[in-house]
A and B are shown apart, each in its own frame.
Chain A
Amino acid sequence: MKKNISASLEKNLQDLQTEFDNSADLMIRRMQVCGVPAALVSMEGLVNKLNIAESILNPILQAELEEKNPVKLFSLLETRILSTTDHNTFTDQEELMTFLLNGFAIFLLDGCGKALAAGVQGYAYRSIAEPQNENSQKGSRESFVEPFLINMSMIRRRIRDPRLKFERLVVGKRSRTNLLLCYVRDVAAKELVDGIREKLLQADMETVMGSGYIAPFVSKQESGFFFVGAGRSERPDTVCGKLVEGRVAVIIDGTPSVLVLPRLFVENFQTFDDYVNRPFYAFFTRILKYIAFFLSLFFPGFYVATAAFHPELLPQPLLIKIAQSEVSTPFPLMLELLLIHIIYEIMREAGLRAPKPLGHAVSIVGALVIGDMAVSSGLVGPPTLMVVAVTATAAYVTPSLYEISSVIRLVMIFVGGWLGFWGLMLGVFLVLVNICSETVYGIPFSAPVSPFSWKSMRDVFWRSSWKRLGRRDARIQDLPGSKLFSGEKQKESSENRK
């Protein structure tokens, strides 16, 4: 039910005080403008007081006006006196609340059933810094910050195209979090944008405090899918690269990372540096990343299966070394690996959560306990420790896959130790089917590897030169197996809809 702003200033202020229950951060500055009672309402901490004084209070109080009619006076103030760059007039009380809570200053005049919201936002926020999780040697040093409008500007600065569109949405019944749906109009498939918008609006959430809150709503994944069909990036350049390929970004207020949809499996192995390095080196690092991912997932399981079931596979000197080290340890190889991995995960979690001053202590204890004492006390064999070390390091090469690889790895150790190599292969196939089973907004998660497209492979296992990459019109909806319309089909589809 729409409720209009009252013409009575006292009633409006009374309503606001009741709504906020006299909250300490509600600021009301009463004044007289040409003898007409007026008030400026704002929220403490969300506005820039200097800006208020310079662009609202000083011009109003110093203005020499003769007008006594409140409606005409309001119009005069709006058009000739106020010097704010961003202001809106409205009559709806709900809009008043939205503007007020978004850091606008609300000007109310007695006898006028309208309000004016002036953009004087100004709150303390972290300045733009280097990305924490997506480091780049040669790329930009900027990363997203918490205020969504700054993130919006960072994208706009990189894509100076009027077809880049930002749509503002509000999600969260209580938090009323601002979101921006960002896409390039003539590149992104309409079905994709509509689908994501619909999912966002349908998200039944009380509060949205980060991208992780809404990722499950928008990634549209089936139950039982191990991976995530929504990517996250804290680099504006990476997000811009994705946008021009037809993807959609969701900027969430208060979160220094942006959701990018849809995300395919192969994107986990692409980094910004791949595109600034020379192609041969990009190819080399990509292959390293794939190898590292497979090592992080299957190496411990393969080690257990080989040592326990297929020792004939190993060269004799290596086999003897493993046998010598294992003969003195009390646990079976599978249990040994499981224990060490779990201890390693505990250490990692402690290092991550412990207060910074304690971090070094955790590292020292971890290095001593796992690295030295476990071997010297005879609980663990050195080859096992070596396997764990290689696996742990390999897992950090693809950080976006760390969560899933750390769990699958434990399962693979168990299966490899229980059933042997063929059991491990059952696990590999299961993971493969899981990867291939998901379709994110009509695009197979496993594309363009399967369904295969030679054209799209130019940026999968290797990265072609910019002469070729720059020439191509790589849109996400053009990938093999995609059920999204593209190009001419998209035009026809939108015309049909009209």
Chain B
Amino acid sequence: MEAKQKTGTLLRSSQLYGAMFVSQLLMILTLNTVLSGGGRMQDFIPAALLTFVGNFIFILPAAFLFKKYPGKNVLDIADLLLGKGASVVRLLYGTYFVFLAAYYLSLFQLFLANVMDPRQSLAGVAAAVMGVAVYSALRGIEAVVRAAAIVGAFTVLGCVILLFILFPRFEEVEFLPFFEEGMQPIFTGALLILGRTGSFVLWGFLAPYTSGKKGKGYLAWNFAIYIFTTLILAAAIGALGANLDAWLFPIYSASAFAQTGLLQSMDTLFIAMWVFGLLAKLSMNLITLQMSFQGRKRRKKWPVFCAAAAASALALLICQFVELQQLFFGLWLLLPATGITAVGIPLFLLLVSGWKGRKRGVTYEETHSGSSS
């Protein structure tokens, strides 16, 4: 019941994993090596396997926390354990969501400015995209998650079409030997993917409010992501080889290269997938940010508007300054941020919970029996 009061709804876990799938697929479709400091696209294939394992490790602290405090999300638990100190946790999450939104928005702006139409006003792009994301966020989590499910189906279909078109051009010779440069690029690739994965925090915010099989759902989500990452990368590299390493948006280039029947290229399909995924991602970010700042009863709108404005401004700055691009598209900002929000905070809360439990000599379950049911 509490879950219903907090989000105004009760989601099914399949809906949450659908939304997380779209979010993750967006990240895969926008993978590149140019902006993240060089390397080979091919190295992301073994990195995906490491990410598969990492995806389980990253949610362990939150999973343990939820087992101890059923029906409560990370923020509820922080409120319970830290009291007023929870506002620091809320602020950290809020900042993380703004960073993540700015990262994805700036990537899209760079794509439009560099690949599609250099005359496009970056501020106009930010305003249009964020406008729709704000509208979606204000329609509520249910609306966004339901839309994300349809977007997810469309994206899967789009990816399958791309794979069907690219695989006939697949040539083994396009692949260079794996592990040629040791394990370092593979670890870097895995950390890049993990750092850009906002799904851990989304899971930490919404999973306790969902009904259904969470464990099996997570396993299916992780497995599906691994399969899609591997297939998309293998198809693109098999068709275009090492050329992809030099392109700003390699999967886009592969889709533009794909040609079938009457359609001269599949880049519009790719753009559609990107825009849908981006909007689903941004609106979910704004909703979780709103959850971070909302009181127990009221749903305030100002955090959504402020976060949208802040993310847009930050995205514009990222597009303007190379230093910021290096920071956001490399390892040194998003990976620590994801680490802190997805692993650090839940781990800290687990420790506080254990410490408080020992201090009182009783367990949470004993003191709050029935409160979570």
Contact = CB atoms under 8 A, between A and B. Distances in A.
B142 A444 contact: yes
A452 B132 contact: no
A193 B165 CA distance: 52
B128 A432 contact: no
Contacts of B117: 309, 420
Nearest to B276: A429
A480 B12 CA distance: 10
Interface in B127-141: 128-129, 132, 135-136, 139-140
Contact of B135 (A309, A428, A430, A481): A430
Interface string B86-112: 000000000000000000000000001
A433 B147 contact: yes
A437 B139 contact: yes
Interface in A419-476: 419-423, 425-426, 428-430, 432-437, 439, 444, 446, 449-452
B151 to A, nearest CB: 7
A162 B254 CA distance: 65
Contacts of A446: 146, 150
B362 interface: no
B139 A312 contact: no
Most chain A beta carbons < 10 A, residue from B143, B280, B283: B143
A24 interface: no
A174 B262 CA distance: 63
Nearest to A439: B142
Contacts of A309: 116-117
Interface residues of B, number: 36
A313 B112 contact: no
Contacts of B271: 421-422, 425
Given A312-B265, A421-B268, A422-B112, A430 B143 contact: no
A367 to B, nearest CB: 31
A209 interface: no
A452 B149 contact: yes
Contact of A433 (B12, B116, B144, B264): B144
Which secondary structure dominates where chain B touches chain A? Answer: helix
A452 B15 CA distance: 9
B116 A313 contact: no
A35 interface: no
A421 B265 CA distance: 14
B275 interface: yes
A450 B151 CA distance: 10
B43 interface: no
A355 interface: no
Contact of B264 (A314, A428, A430, A435): A314
Interface string B1-36: 000000000001011000000000000000000000
A278 interface: no
A224 B140 CA distance: 13
B329 to A, nearest CB: 21
A439 to B, nearest CB: 7
A265 to B, nearest CB: 11
Which secondary structure dominates where chain A touches chain B? Answer: helix
Contacts of B263: 313
A428 B144 CA distance: 13
Interface residues of A, number: 33
B279 interface: yes
Contacts of A481: 12, 142, 146
Given A313-B264, A313-B265, A449 B128 contact: no
Nearest to B10: A483
Contacts of B140: 437
A310 B147 contact: no
A452 B146 CA distance: 9
A451 B150 contact: no
A357 interface: no
B352 interface: no
A426 B151 CA distance: 12
A433 B134 CA distance: 11
A315 B260 CA distance: 11
A434 B271 CA distance: 21
B136 A433 contact: yes
B132 A437 contact: no
A428 B271 CA distance: 13
A450 B150 contact: yes
Contacts of B151: 429, 432
A434 B135 CA distance: 9
A421 B270 CA distance: 11
Contact of A426 (B116, B268, B275): B275
B283 to A, nearest CB: 8
Given A425-B271, A426-B275, A450-B149, A436 B143 contact: yes
Interface string A301-316: 0000010011011110
5 contacts: A310-B267, A312-B265, A313-B264, A420-B116, A429-B132
Interface of A: 224, 306, 309-310, 312-315, 419-423, 425-426, 428-430, 432-437, 439, 444, 446, 449-452, 480-481
Interface of B: 12, 14-15, 112, 116-117, 120, 128-129, 132, 135-136, 139-140, 142-144, 146-147, 149-151, 262-265, 267-268, 271-272, 274-276, 279-280, 283
List the 9 shortest-distance A-B pairs measured between CB atoms, nearest first: A437-B143, A436-B146, A425-B275, A437-B139, A450-B146, A450-B149, A433-B136, A436-B147, A429-B279
Given A420-B116, A428-B272, 10 more contacts: A310-B268, A312-B264, A312-B265, A313-B267, A419-B120, A423-B128, A426-B128, A426-B279, A436-B144, A481-B146
